[in-house]
Amino acid sequence: HDVLVAPIAPCAAFHSQRPEGQDAYSVGRTVKVDGETRPYADLFFWPHVAIVAGLPSLAAPVLLTDDGLPVGVQIVGPPGGDWGLLAFAKLLAAAGGLRQLGPPPEVR
């Protein structure tokens, strides 16, 4: 197969809720996923699968939440398949009718 489409995160994008003095790797930082409190580091699990395997991958938006935030997927390709991933992501975006996304209005 040319590409593998997989989750990029256990939830859709959300508005930044960075507590003062904390970053994504701060111990004790949490995020709600389907009403359940989970460690913030859980957001990094799926991207690391491709990284550890040494495969090219990218995240692509496939739809928007009611708040206008993206829901994405990870597209993983074979070694050296970078250009194929970009072409597939472009086709995926066109099929979904998504425009180019930028930051939410409140952070522009």
pLDDT tens readout for residues 43-76:
778 888 888 999 999 988 888 888 777 888 899 9
Selection from 62-76, 77-91, 92-106 with the highest mean pLDDT = 77-91
Cα–Cα dist 3/40, whole Å: 28
**Cα 40 from Cα 4, distance rounded (Å):** 25
The single-letter code of the amino acid at 16 is S
pLDDT band at 13 (very low <50, low <70, confident <90, very high): confident
Per DSSP, the three-state class of 64 is strand
- Cα 75 to chain centroid distance, Å, stands at 10
Q: Is residue 11 a contact partner of residue 40, using CB atoms and an 8 Å limit? A: no
Using DSSP bridges, classify how beta strands 70-76 and 4-7 pair: parallel, antiparallel or unpaired.
Answer: antiparallel
- In this model, does residue 96 exceed pLDDT 80? no
